[in-house]
Structure 1
């Protein structure tokens, strides 16, 4: 049966739109979830972290499963998991039921996203048609992130926080129905035994989870607590076992030889820090706008919208500038712009003006963050062998997701500590929230400073317009 490649693109792009939409749509619903389900300020971050960790932790596995079991089968399986978990999330009546649903959402999203990208690359031959397809796929994904905050605000105010999850269900069901007739199946043919490296995926994700749990529990219990020490030690042990497993595996998720590349390692670190800064800024700002400034969910979403528009504009500018000036100047200037935005956001007060205190920071940060990420992707893959390109792409995307979860854990925990101390000192709740927000954004700006230093010593490349277009779309 012959299938239209453009019909395939529509299905894949809508699925990716839904996955990215879910990253931002949930942020504006956090305060309502906190009230209804009784989340503590420290535990609330798991609503975000459970999703990003599962997504990042199983992204490489999703690509491997698609290659060996069939890409359409894995795409449909991930879509079904994501849809079912969305329904479960909307029906959640307890904190940890919701967190569990978010983790399953992330796992389904990882399978779906990895398989979708593989399907695109085999559906379209390298060249203009693939670049157009990748541009549409990546553009819709970026639009999902921008519209998510507004859509989330509308749904929360009109129907309740549950609908940020329920909205995925009819879209997911419709895509599942049309997938068999619009998406062709494909897989890698191999004569040897199939190896999925499930142990590697479980050890890597479990190790990062244990470390994050230890960081979060350190605030209420102290760093010398037996629970905190045990969690951190367990995390380190699991990550060490992950390295051993990958070294011995005949088909590892992460070939350790990739880390011999200084450019890949450094760029992955930049993307991880970028992810941590973005998630922390978004999480803290969503809470500050609603709990500190008393805005509705919709008003909060609308106040984030200029940042999304600036991010799209920043990506367009970066793709035009890169072939002319190269990666290092683009990345350095963008890092400066993003850090300036974060520093401006630290001035925000509970009764201050949005136009003077928040809008300039949101716009600058949105404009700068994409100009950091696109050059980092190009540098990361610059000296990777052709046979390792897929694994390297998966590694840098995983680094972004896992870095986001770790950065969110550390920064939100320290911001909560500042707010708690301010309350204990007699401050009113809004002033205390502003104090926590200020500390969190200062720490986020510190991550931006590290990104700037790494950008200043990064490799200078001048890519062709075609290379920029393809990598920007896949980012």
Structure 2
């Protein structure tokens, strides 16, 4: 099914010459050292997190990539401070709204991908579902995420970032709680799906809140950079979810569903704790995407 990306990519590639200007008004210089360092650092971080889930946090294959990521990020920061064509203005990380957006994106992505991974393992390994049947179970989850995102885009402007972000995380925690007691039998549609749908609805709210908040007071020429920061945390969140899923897998290897109990308990605690953190971190404001003054 992944081949569906090929024709889409080819169409986009063919359309680029007609959509993009032939020459940039001011040719931009490529910060090649910065590109190499930040790409290598992020790849090393993600690989280290994945290996930590497979081999444990104390394993050499996890520790070395994680330490390497710190070194590469430090080198990236040093290079950006002296570069004439810096890839990133490091002051972006001092802007509160960008950091809030990155935090919300990290948590929302980790939880959602964790739900998909845990749910897939539970359905196929514990309940004997086929990949197709598993996909059908997750269809309402995807719809709920989209509905939550749609509602979140409206709520941010009406009731503010703080209330919307906290509400989304509280709904996610409430939806995750029933999943802690997943049975080894019984109806999946009565025990698994309702919790996943509710939790994913809350995550959808926080997805759009993260992006809207991060870009709220960023100048148009810096929107790509702020979006890149948030999307980087999106990738890291997915890696954290992979680590979380190994908790359940370890339980399956022992022939029990205890791993799922631990993993979903951790997910519920994460959502609830993030809601409390959001109460302190997220500003009580209604973002206006006008490109006005920056909020730090």
2:263 alignment counterpart: 440
**In 1, Cα distance between equivalents of 2:271 and 2:214:** 19
- Root-mean-square deviation over aligned CA pairs: 2.7
Kindly provide the CA deviation profile for residues 4-53 of structure 1, in whole angstroms up to 9, marking residues without a partner as x. xxxxxxxxxxxxxxxxxxxxxxxxxxxxxxxxxxxxxxxxxxxxxxxxxx
- Alignment partner of 1:409 out of 233, 242, 257: 242
Q: Does 1:188 align with 2:29?
A: no
Q: Taking structure 1 as reference, are residues 183 and 357 closer, same or farther at Cα in structure 2, changes over 3 Å only? A: same
Q: Which has the higher mean CA deviation after the structures are superposed, 302-311 or 342-351?
A: 342-351
Structure 2: runs of 5 or more not aligned: 291-296
2:6 alignment counterpart: 169
2:194 alignment counterpart: 360
**In 1, Cα distance between equivalents of 2:84 and 2:24:** 16
Work out whether residues 285 and 437 of structure 1, in 8 Å CA contact, stay in contact via their aligned partners in 2.
no
Q: Taking structure 1 as reference, are residues 315 and 419 closer, same or farther at Cα in structure 2, changes over 3 Å only? A: same
Q: Taking structure 1 as reference, are residues 218 and 250 closer, same or farther at Cα in structure 2, changes over 3 Å only? A: same
Instruction: Give the CA deviation at 1:346.
Output: 2.4
Work out whether residues 273 and 404 of structure 1, in 8 Å CA contact, stay in contact via their aligned partners in 2.
no
Kindly provide the CA deviation profile for residues 411-443 of structure 1, in whole angstroms up to 9, marking residues without a partner as x. 1233333433xx1xxx3xxxx3x3323322222
Work out whether residues 258 and 384 of structure 1, in 8 Å CA contact, stay in contact via their aligned partners in 2.
no
2:285 alignment counterpart: 461
Normalization by structure 2: what TM-score? 0.84
Instruction: Give the CA deviation at 1:341.
Output: 1.5
Q: Does 1:301 align with 2:135?
A: yes
Instruction: Give the CA deviation at 1:304.
Output: 0.8
Using CA pairs under 8 Å that are at least 6 residues apart, name the structure with larger relative contact order, 1 or 2. 2
Q: Give matches, 1:19-98, under 5 Å.
A: none
Structure 1: runs of 5 or more not aligned: 1-163, 469-475
Normalization by structure 1: what TM-score? 0.55
Work out whether residues 216 and 287 of structure 2, in 8 Å CA contact, stay in contact via their aligned partners in 1.
no
Q: Give matches, 1:147-162, under 5 Å.
A: none
1:236 alignment counterpart: 70
**In 2, Cα distance between equivalents of 1:384 and 1:180:** 27
**In 1, Cα distance between equivalents of 2:36 and 2:224:** 20
Q: Taking structure 1 as reference, are residues 443 and 252 closer, same or farther at Cα in structure 2, changes over 3 Å only? A: farther
Work out whether residues 107 and 274 of structure 2, in 8 Å CA contact, stay in contact via their aligned partners in 1.
yes
2:87 alignment counterpart: 253
Kindly provide the CA deviation profile for residues 329-357 of structure 1, in whole angstroms up to 9, marking residues without a partner as x. 12211111111112222222331312321
3-state DSSP class of the match of 2:233? helix
Instruction: Give the CA deviation at 1:277.
Output: 1.4
Q: Taking structure 1 as reference, are residues 271 and 170 closer, same or farther at Cα in structure 2, changes over 3 Å only? A: closer
Kindly provide the CA deviation profile for residues 238-280 of structure 1, in whole angstroms up to 9, marking residues without a partner as x. 2221222222222333210111212321321221121111112
Work out whether residues 379 and 461 of structure 1, in 8 Å CA contact, stay in contact via their aligned partners in 2.
no
